[in-house]
Structure 1
Amino acid sequence: MDWLIFILSVIEAIAWPVAFVAAVVFLRQEWVDVIGRIQGVKHKETQIEFGHCLQEASKKAKSSLPDSVDLASKGLAHRLELAGYSPRGAILESWIDVEATLEELGARYEIPRDELKHPDIHMMERMHGDDNALGKGAFGLLQSLCEMRNEAFYLTNKVIEFDAAKEYVSLANRMVTLLKEA
């Protein structure tokens, strides 16, 4: 084997691995964008779908939340503006308002603070029964909002669209209104 054939065989052996590594390195940001646009992930028994959860929550909201949105509520305009440049931040800020209102509700109904610190929404629903002040379906919607907040917080590679964040902010604001009225 002469040196030309040796060089040719070495180049032939490393061509595909080098091409693959180069594609990954050069298209790194594009891969992140593509992965971020994925609306759902399924691994064994676990399945996460942000867009689907938001659509389900919107359907639940029609039956259980008041239609009016209190535009004067604390920071709603700010959160809607925040959704334009940081959808994830708008979702997290909206959930903070829901949690604060849950604490106020707990104080009114003398629910121990420990139960509200890490709210088990299904447990709260069983405690209050069907005749609760929130109305039918409100606990399910509250659970959906909590799950979507968790997805926004923990799935940091996921791209959250402006419209989805705006819808979440609106739903959370309506939930806060309902909780304050209960």
Structure 2
Amino acid sequence: MDWKEFISQIIDSLAWPLVVMFIVWQLKDKLGDLLPRLRKVKHKDTELEFAELVTELVSEAKSVENVVPASEAPNSKENFDFLVKLAEISPRSAVLESFRAVESAASIALTKAYPDLESNNARNPMQMFDLLRGKVLSDSQFKQLNDLRRLRNKAAHMEDFSLHGTPIEAYIDIALTIANGLASYEP
């Protein structure tokens, strides 16, 4: 191989990547406007749909009145910080543990709301949430709980769940806020 062939192969292998980089650079402002409109993006089995659904949950959570986010509540700040640190190591575990806190608080609220109900009859989380709907949970909180459950299921069953940052922290915050509300329920 002489120097002409060598230069020809280098140019040949770099041509398309350079063209793509140039197009992306030229359209960077327009691409930034298009990114929020994406419904679903996959990269190595990580879906950005989770982040979008958490964003919707955050906007719904802001509409609920008289609720202190778990990240600001003094009694749950420690648990929130622990789950955020866990999310840095294993986002899936943080999501699962956050939802486990919701299920535990729902069980406590169910015991308070229905003292004569046998605890064995309400082991299924969906049954617990249905019993709490209307009596302990408003319709918007019930919807948030179902959305949290669906997101937890996505996190639990995706092969490679590795989201980091704001979506995971927002999920933890919303889950712990609902858990605090359920745990503080008094009939």
- Whole-Å Cα distance in 1 between the matches of residues 165 and 184 of structure 2? 29
TM-score, scaled to structure 1: 0.65
TM-score, scaled to structure 2: 0.63
The amino acid across from 2:144 in the alignment is L
**CA shift in 2, pair 1:115/1:167, >3 Å:** farther
Structure 1: unaligned runs, 5 residues or longer: 1-32, 40-48
* Structure 1 segments of 4+ aligned residues over 4 angstroms from their partners: none
**CA shift in 2, pair 1:174/1:109, >3 Å:** same
Equivalent in the alignment of 1:61: 61
Equivalent in the alignment of 1:117: 123
Instruction: Please say if residues 91 and 161 of structure 2, whose CA atoms lie closer than 8 Å, have aligned partners that are also in contact.
Output: no
Instruction: Please say if residues 134 and 178 of structure 1, whose CA atoms lie closer than 8 Å, have aligned partners that are also in contact.
Output: no
Equivalent in the alignment of 1:78: 82
**CA shift in 2, pair 1:165/1:123, >3 Å:** closer
Shift of 1:152: 0.7
Shift of 1:161: 2.1
CA deviations 1:69-112 (Å, max 9, x no partner) are 22432622211111122111111111111111011011101255
- Whole-Å Cα distance in 1 between the matches of residues 121 and 57 of structure 2? 24
Percent of residue pairs bearing the same amino acid type: 22
Instruction: Please say if residues 94 and 169 of structure 1, whose CA atoms lie closer than 8 Å, have aligned partners that are also in contact.
Output: yes
Instruction: Please say if residues 64 and 136 of structure 1, whose CA atoms lie closer than 8 Å, have aligned partners that are also in contact.
Output: no
Instruction: Please say if residues 95 and 146 of structure 1, whose CA atoms lie closer than 8 Å, have aligned partners that are also in contact.
Output: yes
- Whole-Å Cα distance in 2 between the matches of residues 159 and 78 of structure 1? 18
Shift of 1:122: 9.6
Instruction: Please say if residues 84 and 169 of structure 2, whose CA atoms lie closer than 8 Å, have aligned partners that are also in contact.
Output: yes
CA deviations 1:38-78 (Å, max 9, x no partner) are 32xxxxxxxxx312221121122112361342243262221
Q: 5 Å matches for 1:1-182? A: 34-39=43-48, 49-64=49-64, 66-69=67-70, 70-73=73-76, 75-110=79-114, 111-114=117-120, 116-120=122-126, 124=130, 128-129=133-134, 132-182=135-185
Instruction: Specify the SS of the correspondent of 2:125.
Output: coil
Structure 2: unaligned runs, 5 residues or longer: 1-41
- Equivalent pairs counted in the alignment come to 138
- Whole-Å Cα distance in 2 between the matches of residues 134 and 52 of structure 1? 24
